[in-house]
Structure 1
Amino acid sequence: MTTSSTRTLTTLRVEERPDRWVVTLDRPEVRNAIDRAMVDELHEVCAALEAVPKVLILTGANGTFAAGADIAQLRERRREDALAGINSSLFARIQGLPLPVVAAVDGYALGGGAELAYAADFRLATPRARFGNPEGGLGIMAAAGATWRLKELVGEPVAKEILLAGRVLDADEALAVRLVTAVHEPDELLPAAHALADRIGRSDALALRLTKAAFHAPAAAHPLIDEVAQAVLFESEAKFERMTAFLERKGR
């Protein structure tokens, strides 16, 4: 039987399971807009998952992932705030978590909400999901990862349409360009995210951590980083146990 505990923070609901956390953005009065309190609480989540690595499922309450950053706060931010990288440093930390991150997106993922989804390793969506970066219309730019993550995810032409021409992708379009890996009905979204977490969990946690680290390493680090990571795994107990079990199943 799966044991779990749930706690409610100021802007988040956090469900802790033995092998994963489910974190729900919960500011329904502003469609889960990302404010400084949410940033701080998500940093707390990251610190816990860095200390004890587990899969993270990110989702939003009340049929919205996150409709953007909190405009009331953004309006008051100045040069020093931009240079502090309030959102970009958080999203980099989320992308760098040891084990995979799954974004389960229902409804709007716009602006900073879209950039949060881009930082995940996997994105699942519902038919009513919408992805876009309308920051230019507010006199700013998408400066928390979209200018480079989005190009890596969907390619330069589509990324430019979103960032420079205000294109908003619906769920089918996001699936077609592989921004999302699957589309599910709203009541099936979290079960699908948990099914994906189950698949991830069938692999060895250390192998996943080192694979993710190598995947995000700069090109100049290869092949050395792959060889060093493999050297660590070649000495792990899990490697011998899993390979022995495989050979025994095959009668060898």
Structure 2
Amino acid sequence: MSGLRVEERPDRLVVTLDRPEKRNAIDADLVAELHAVCAELEARPRLLLLTGGTEGIFAGGADIGQLRERGRLDALAAINSAVFARVRALPMPTVAAVDGPALGGGAELAYACDLRVCTARAVFGQPEVRLGILAGAGATHRLPALVGEALAKELLFTGRRVDAAEALRIGLVNRVVDDPAELLPTAHGLLDEMAKGSALALRLTKLAVDAPPAAHPHLDLVSQAVLFEDEEKRRRMTDFLERRRDR
């Protein structure tokens, strides 16, 4: 891959946006590579850490040169929104590690992940209306779900940028680290905590949380029925009871 660096670990993929000369702008080639990563994680579900590295840039948005030339049929093709939706629907949890600006499509890619960790110099923003378009790759529905409708509308209508401190306060990110060198260890630490749980329980929990309200409680009941018959559940509960008995 030319726009991504992919590191395989036993329980996760670490995917780094790697177009520093273009500020990690999201172009058609990068979209195709993200689709390939999604296909791999759909076929063999694992955790995902998505980052721009610790060089002071996550993603400066869509490639404006390409975006300027797109017409209505390109918009209807959902070029960026389709791959971000695929990231959102991955079977196992995902964490975005953000250093520096995450703007436009870059912010929408971060919103598509389940959790976000950022450095103190991170900035989020949706400048699309100032370019004559809307934030059409997920921000119009994911941002309200994260920060509430009124604040999301303010950010989408004005293009105002949100710094790391505000992002933490409004619930846009889960953690902020002062030292960029701590960004990836912090993100991996979150994934390490997840990896201590049952992979199937984790997968079904994500499915339940992301399901529409009408799916509850039926989805919860069916998921729990599956887990109650899983040998991993029996093993984990037996271990728990034995540890408590030996205290």
How far did 1:165 drift?
1.2
| Structure 1 residue 156, shift from structure 2 partner | 1.2
For 1:92, the aligned partner's letter is A
Distance of 1:227 and 1:181 partners within structure 2: 29
User: How big is the shift at 1:19?
Assistant: 0.6
Match for residue 220 of structure 2 among 226, 230, 239: 226
The answer for the alignment partner of 2:70 in structure 1 is 77
Q: Report the 3-state secondary structure (helix = DSSP H, G, I; strand = E; otherwise coil) of the residue aligned with 1:58.
A: strand
**Corresponding residue of 2:9:** 17
Residue 30 of structure 1, CA deviation: 1.0
Superposed, 1:96-245 pairs within 5 Å as 96-184=89-177, 185-245=179-239
Paired position in structure 1 for 2:242: 248
Report what 2:28 is aligned to.
36
Letter in 2 for 1:25: L
Task: Write the distance in 2 (CA, Å) between the matches of 1:82 and 1:131.
Answer: 23
Aligned length: 244
Paired AA for residue 15 in structure 1: E
Task: Give how far 1:158 is off.
Answer: 1.4
Q: Deviations over 1:130-189 (max 9, x none)?
A: 000000111000001100100000011211121001211000000000111111120100
CA distance in 2, matches of 1:103, 1:217: 21
The equivalent position to 1:89 in structure 2, one of 82, 85, 104, is: 82
Runs of at least 4 residues of structure 1 off by over 2 A? none
Alignment partners' CA distance in 2, 1:63 and 1:29:
13
Q: Distance in 1 between matches of 2:106 and 2:20?
A: 14
One-letter amino acid of the counterpart of residue 112, structure 1: G
Which segment drifts farther, 158-167 or 133-142?
158-167
Question: What residue ranges of structure 2 are gaps of 5+ in the alignment?
Answer: none
Normalised by the size of structure 2, how large is the TM-score?
A: 0.97
The match for 1:6 is: none
Residue 72 (structure 1) shift:
0.5
Give the CA RMSD over aligned residues: 0.8
> What is the alpha-carbon distance in structure 2 between the residues aligned to residue 126 and residue 217 of structure 1?
30
1:54 aligns to 2:55 (yes or no): no
Shift, 1:211, TM fit: 0.7
Percent of aligned pairs with the same amino acid: 65
